[in-house]
Amino acid sequence: MAELEWEPRLERTRAEAQAFAPFLGRWTGSGHAHGEKSTGELVGEAILDGSHIEVRERVDGHEDRCLYRFEVDDMSLRVMHIFAGGTVREYPVERTPSGLVWITPPSEPSVEWHFGSDQLRCEVRWPGADQPDVTMSWTRA
């Protein structure tokens, strides 16, 4: 890739990664997961020259990593979800009026994030469920 192509691409990915800026910083969380009370911590950090936002989430000893980015080739927001068991999934992400939603296959849980000025809320709903199976509220640490 020529230098002239690289800089505009990097600028574009940085600008579009701002959709994930609400994750940046340290957060403490509480809520419910599968009928049990849950607590956790979440850390969001800009990495790779600001073109990706890494989110490290630990809830009740279970750790997930997410890499959020803008894919220039198809002009989409994306998340790579890495979790226990050597599992890696990648999904498109869409903006909503209050945050973001992962576009997951019908057989997988949906993930929706709601952003406030000093609060994040995550809801995870398994297929066919009337209510979220996981609801976590996060406040700045």
The DSSP-derived string for 9-52 is: HHHHHHHHGGGGGGG-EEEEEEEEETTEEEEEEEEEEEETTTTE
Mean pLDDT of the chain: 93
Q: Report how far residue 141's alpha carbon sits from residue 136's, in angstroms, rounded to the nearest whole number.
A: 15
Determine how many CB atoms are found less than 10 A away from the CB of residue 27: 22
The contacts of residue 77 (CB under 8 Å, 6+ apart) are 16, 19, 20, 68, 69, 70, 71, 92, 93, 94, 95, 100
Please check the confidence at residue 3 and state whether its pLDDT lies above 70.
no
Quickly state the pLDDT bin for 1 (edges 50, 70, 90). Answer: very low
Structure-block tokens of residue 114: 């709601």
Q: Report how far residue 115's alpha carbon sits from residue 100's, in angstroms, rounded to the nearest whole number.
A: 8
Q: What pLDDT is attached to residue 11?
A: 87
Please check the confidence at residue 61 and state whether its pLDDT lies above 70.
yes
Quickly state the pLDDT bin for 6 (edges 50, 70, 90). Answer: confident
Percent of the chain with pLDDT over 70: 97
In order of their start, the domains of the chain are 3-140 (2.40.128.20)
Q: Report how far residue 141's alpha carbon sits from residue 94's, in angstroms, rounded to the nearest whole number.
A: 27
Q: What pLDDT is attached to residue 53?
A: 96
**Which of 7-21, 36-50, 120-134 bottoms out in mean pLDDT, i.e. has the lowest?**
7-21
Percent of the chain with pLDDT over 90: 74
Q: Report how far residue 61's alpha carbon sits from residue 50's, in angstroms, rounded to the nearest whole number.
A: 28
Model pLDDT for residues 83-105, shown as the tens digit of each residue: 988 899 999 999 999 999 999 99
